[in-house]
Structure 1
């Protein structure tokens, strides 16, 4: 009879995800993973597989969690247009508090591994398509609320908004100051989401 695991799998997965997010895949060693998880090599690999499989699990959990947050934020805004503008106007902070902006784990991983690992590229593609669909649903709601032109293509606008948002995240990694990032976000929102006569 197998012994029950003496660790919280979700807690371990979150810890290794933070490690991959902070350092990247290549720069993360087995010793790093053992340190942040508190597990030995045997326990870690028995539960999650090798480093690559562990990374893919961490990336999937990040994508799923990100979509959960996005779905909630888009749905709970009093008006859809406010939620769409917040995608570009919300300040980009450093959640790690480590004096660096980490960017988006999915985008970082695509840049680092996309050309060499088809599964990472596939996860990123699926992730961006899901994000586009969620934003597109919010665009359609803004159209029903009279805040965006009815003739606009919701998916086309959603892709433009996602590309703009990811561009801001990437720019934040270069060290661009918060005030400039915020001003750029407002400028993008004004161009992509102009006030509609019906709003």
Structure 2
């Protein structure tokens, strides 16, 4: 009879996510053992191996990213464009924090090769899921008359995913809040039909 587990899977996945966000798939089993407190055999028994644990952590990170953007852009009495503006400015603050790690979703995006492999497939799914949330909010803005009828909601949605993921990487590289805020505000000008720098 197998011994009962003495760990909480979600805690292990969270700890592993920190390691993978810092090192990507190059993280070693020793890195994971140190972070999770589990032995190598226990990690294999519980998750099937390093790659399987990586994709489990990536899936959880994606759920959290989706939840956070959904909450930020959900109905709260503000107009759709005001919600996007508030979200972008909050991202500038969060991403400029010196102790904030890059999300595993963004790390996977950087490591993705674009080939038909599990990492690229998972990354593409993450982008599509996030873009879908932005698209919903932008579609409401168009219905309200805040965007022109011919606005390409789908491409604008992907644009905001690209801007926020880029802001996250810039923040990780040490770019400060003032610059990230300027990036966010410049990105928002696109919604008002202005060119960057106008």
| SS across alignment from 1:24 | helix
Show structure 2 runs of 5+ residues with no match.
194-198
Is the aligned partner of 1:35 residue 2:29?
no
Change (3 A) 1:94 1:154: closer
CA contact (8 A) 2:95 2:167 kept: no
Once the two structures are superposed, residues 27-59 of structure 1 have per-residue CA deviations (whole angstroms, 9 ceiling, x without a partner) of x22122112111111111100011111111111
Report the RMSD for the aligned CA atoms in angstroms.
2.3
How many pairs were matched up? 191
Specify every segment of 5 or more residues in structure 1 that has no aligned partner in the other structure, as ranges.
Answer: none
Return closer, same or farther for 1:64/1:85 CA change in 2, 3 Å cut-off: same
Structure 1 partner of 2:89: 89
- In structure 1, the residue matched to 2:13 is 13
The worse-fitting range, judged by mean Cα deviation, of 30-39 and 120-129 is 30-39
Larger mean Cα displacement after TM superposition, 157-166 or 102-111:
102-111
With structure 2 as the length reference, what TM-score do the two structures score? 0.85
Q: Which residue of 2 aligns with 1:125?
A: 124
Q: Give the equivalent residue in structure 2 for 1:193.
A: 191
2: distance between equivalents of 1:101 and 1:185?
Answer: 18
Distance 1:121 1:133 in 2: 18
Taking a change above 3 Å as real, the CA distance of residues 160 and 116 of structure 1, as seen in their structure-2 partners, is closer
Note the 1:125-164 alignment, pairs <5 A. Answer: 125-164=124-163
Counterpart CA distance in 2 for 1:41 and 1:60 is 22
Q: Is the CA contact (8 Å cut-off) linking 2:95 and 2:171 kept in structure 1?
A: no
More off after superposition, 169-178 vs 101-110: 101-110
**Structure-2 separation of matches of 1:149 and 1:38:** 54
